[in-house]
Structure 1
């Protein structure tokens, strides 16, 4: 099955530590391939296998790091 790519708007990220914590947490999820964080546009782009992980789990993981998915 092909991977999906989803871009989420995330509020509250302001520095490289924010970027790294989101990348590390989301990247650790089973089924997530690539995670790209753009602090300026407040966007997180995730490549993932929908058979292993879904967008709700990814959103919850980002919110668990203290950021808001809008």
Structure 2
């Protein structure tokens, strides 16, 4: 298992958390998604390392922006 933390900009409420969790959770191999709303961090546990492009696309689909990566 691999755990990776991403910084996500624009999340402000529970709906944001659900949207990001759902989209990232749909990526193949993802086992768990934990969102720290106050810090704007999303920790993803997966079978293998995920491509930053796949995570960025999922975050974009949810309506938010992946910072950094």
Q: TM-score range by the shorter chain?
A: 0.7 to 0.9
CA contact (8 A) 2:23 2:61 kept: no
In the other structure, the counterpart of 1:65 is 62
In the other structure, the counterpart of 1:54 is 51
TM-score by length of 1: 0.85
Deviation of residue 56 (structure 1)?
Answer: 2.2
**What RMSD in Å do the two structures reach over aligned CA positions?**
1.4
Supply the distance in 2 between the matched residues of 1:50 and 1:39 (Cα, whole angstroms): 25
Deviation of residue 55 (structure 1)?
Answer: 3.0
Task: Tell me how many residue pairs correspond in the alignment.
Answer: 67
| Larger Rg belongs to | 1
Gaps of 5+ in 1: none
Supply the distance in 1 between the matched residues of 2:24 and 2:10 (Cα, whole angstroms): 16
